[in-house]
Chain A
Amino acid sequence: MKTIEVPAMARVEGEGGLYIGLQSGEAVEIRLDIYEPPRFFEGFLRGRFLQEVPDITARICGICPVAYQMSSALALENALGVSVSAEVRALRRLMYCGEYIESHALHMYMLQAPDLFGKESAFELAEMEPETVKKALRLKKIGNELLKAIGGRSVHPVNVCVGGFYSWPDGTVLKAMLPELTWGLEAAMQAVKWSTTLHYPKLEINYEFVALHEEKEYGLMGSEVWSSRGRKLAIRDYEKTYIEEHVRHSNALHSHTVDGGTYLVGPLARLNLNHDQLAPIAKQALKEAGIKLPLKNPYKSFIARAVELVQFFKEAIDIVQAYAPAGPAHMELDLKAGEGCGASEAPRGTLYHRYQIDDHGLIQSAKIVPPTAQNLPRIEADLFAMAPALVVMPEAAATRQAEDLVRAYDPCISCATHFLKLKMEERDSSCK
């Protein structure tokens, strides 16, 4: 019996393993085993007051708490039939810029780059490429500082509420960040060029890309869900088309399209579907680096993240320069019973929330569809496609290649568990 086993997947958020079942040397079953324990958020949100929700859902993920806060707030505002002011919307985008910068810099340089250079960690990479890692840390720090300036702290910020923000952040603190943001924009432009010089494994997949779309801005908190197969949906129809189910081997739910297909959310999907809405400087970065869209290689999500860094540094600069808050930071809410849904683009992909509330504003039911749950079946399908090559490789190399693929997706298992151990096993041929 041939068995390949990795105790646990490294450089991903959360815990899981990979199982490949072989029959006569051919892969017959692929499973991403998610053993990140379930935490039952949707269960214990019931009976909580709606204004507690953004603070609770933030705790689903320490890497992208802002995404959870935003999708919660949007869904609950939808349930109450209110929409926030233009100033609040702009500040929410700015806060999201901070999260994208922090999360993308973390994933690109500390989680995925070591794979592209054949290293075990960013610490090892730092011995070979000290300037690259120092630059990465500076980029990441800018994102975290921006989050802190708006939300009090970078992990689980405390300023987001349903209806807006508890307080307007101090404009002088934000404006003092402009020199670092300007450095970051230039560094991100260089990162796009650098990203196209790296060696990516060859793999092209005909994905169905899915992302939120906004008419005038790069999709973050859009009102429509677009797909590369031509579907254009209102967010309220999300669950009718993208269906979540519970499979035995996983504490993370799995999603598929209504016609049974897999789909991909995240940076590749966003860039491929929404490049028309990129800022001119991000379009220029694409052009100068000679990047042809659509990008269909999952490893090249690295390039898409670099382009998004340019986009969000540029947006952050523009929003900070224009920042002059007027009026209340949040609206007064009239509580009434209702149901509402909302979605935003977490750095890892579309994050959908739906809540039912009673007339006291207490949560009656909650539904949260995280990006990684949507990507898991697609990752399994990619590994299945890769399996014939894996089974003839030496054990260590096969493990590494499978892990590298999974990491390229930037899975957030803490989010979806609701992550990797590679085990390749020749099944007993007498078993049916």
Chain B
Amino acid sequence: MAKSKPTVAVFKFSSCDGCQLSLLNMEDELLDLAAAVDIAFFLEATRAARPGPYDIAIVEGSVTTEHEASRIEEIRSEAKTLIALGTCATAGGIQALRNFADASQLASAVYAHPEYLNYLETSKPVSAYVKPDLELWGCPVNKGQVLEVITSLLAGRKPNLPTHTVCMECKQRGTSCVLVDSGTLCLGPVTQTGCGAICPALRRGCYGCFGPAGQANLKSLSGVLQGLQVHEGEAARLFRGISGYAPAFQKAAYEILVQAKGVVK
């Protein structure tokens, strides 16, 4: 008998389930993948559940409750390799919009009895609590990238992930620039690729699902977007979206808002 298979656990935090679904959406690879690893915990797919330790723990979602804050510490202590999967786990996700508002007011807008709820004032990434070994961005993640990460871990090598921008990918696929052509607001020049530059290909602007790229020149793009916006607040809202709590996008939105009105929050 060959050496034992690595144990994999998949956990859900505050999220839409879409990144876990990206695992189940690997229709061509799923059964082979499931055979190559030992799935110890993956509630969306199986009732069978075993306690840690795990070789690989994959966490989807952001930390938005005290329970989640203590759970992420436990998972970290039980995992050899911890992967933060998707923009909720890497930047707090769309629900991190609460971080720029008064969470209790948001709660009152949705629930008749906010006092029944337990939640933290903020939605934060995994990294705000523990150190993940690898962060994979995307809303949702690119399943090709997920597969690359898992296979590289199984093979004991570093994953090969792109670091260039959506803008660059548009050039590669020959999509003409929506910013230049039609003055459409686009975060492509400052957003990590991974999506395949699908938005500009459909003639709309990128809205930053894969988070800020390392080499992004936010200041320059910010000026361009403010010049192009048709509706007031458009440029700031674009930064303050799916990846809005990522530090670079946070700063960009903040600076636009301060400049525009002296609005601070």
* B and A form one assembly: yes
Q: Does B237 contact A (CB under 8 A)?
A: yes
Contact A59–B93 (Cβ < 8 Å): yes
Say whether, besides A52-B241, A152-B202, A63 and B21 are in contact (CB < 8 Å): yes
Contact bitstring A151-181, B, C-beta under 8 A = 1, else 0: 0111110110100011100000000000000
Chain A residues closer than 8 Å to B204, beta-carbon distance: 158, 161, 166-167
Chain B residues closer than 8 Å to A161, beta-carbon distance: 204
Q: With the chains together, A245 CA to B234 CA distance in Å?
A: 34
Chain B residues closer than 8 Å to A40, beta-carbon distance: 95, 98, 103, 106-107, 109-110
Say whether, besides A59-B139, A110-B45, A156-B140, A38 and B16 are in contact (CB < 8 Å): no
Q: With the chains together, A42 CA to B105 CA distance in Å?
A: 11
Chain A residues closer than 8 Å to B117, beta-carbon distance: 38, 251
Q: How far is the CB of B12 from chain A (nearest CB, A)?
A: 6
Say whether, besides A42-B109, A43-B106, A43-B107, A156 and B49 are in contact (CB < 8 Å): no
Q: With the chains together, A155 CA to B43 CA distance in Å?
A: 19
Contact B234–A49 (Cβ < 8 Å): yes
Chain A residues closer than 8 Å to B264, beta-carbon distance: none
Q: With the chains together, A247 CA to B93 CA distance in Å?
A: 27
Contact A62–B27 (Cβ < 8 Å): no
Q: With the chains together, A412 CA to B20 CA distance in Å?
A: 14
Q: Which range holds the interface residue count of chain B?
A: 35 or more
Contact bitstring A208-243, B, C-beta under 8 A = 1, else 0: 000000000000000000000000000000000000
A394-410 residues with Cβ-Cβ distance < 8 A to B are 403
Name B47's contact: one of A56, A120, A137, A138 (CB within 8 Å).
A120
Which one of B28-36, B129-137, B245-253 is at the A interface?
Answer: B28-36
Q: What are 26 A-B interface contacts by the 8 Å CB criterion?
A: A7-B49, A11-B47, A14-B17, A38-B111, A38-B119, A41-B95, A43-B109, A44-B98, A49-B231, A56-B241, A62-B15, A63-B17, A65-B16, A106-B24, A120-B46, A121-B48, A124-B46, A126-B34, A137-B28, A144-B27, A154-B25, A158-B199, A159-B202, A246-B113, A360-B232, A365-B109
Known A39-B123, A61-B18; 14 more pairs at CB < 8 Å = A14-B12, A15-B12, A37-B64, A38-B107, A39-B95, A41-B95, A55-B241, A120-B47, A144-B25, A158-B202, A165-B202, A166-B204, A251-B117, A403-B47
* Interfacial residues, chain B to chain A (CB-CB below 8 A): 12-22, 24-25, 27-28, 30-31, 34, 39, 43-49, 64-65, 67-68, 93-95, 97-98, 101, 103, 105-113, 116-117, 119, 123, 139-140, 195-196, 198-199, 201-204, 207, 209, 231-234, 237, 241-242
* Interfacial residues, chain A to chain B (CB-CB below 8 A): 7-15, 35-44, 46, 48-49, 52, 55-56, 59-63, 65, 106, 110, 114, 120-124, 126, 133-134, 137-138, 140-141, 144, 152-156, 158-159, 161, 165-167, 245-248, 251, 253, 360-361, 365, 403, 412, 414, 418
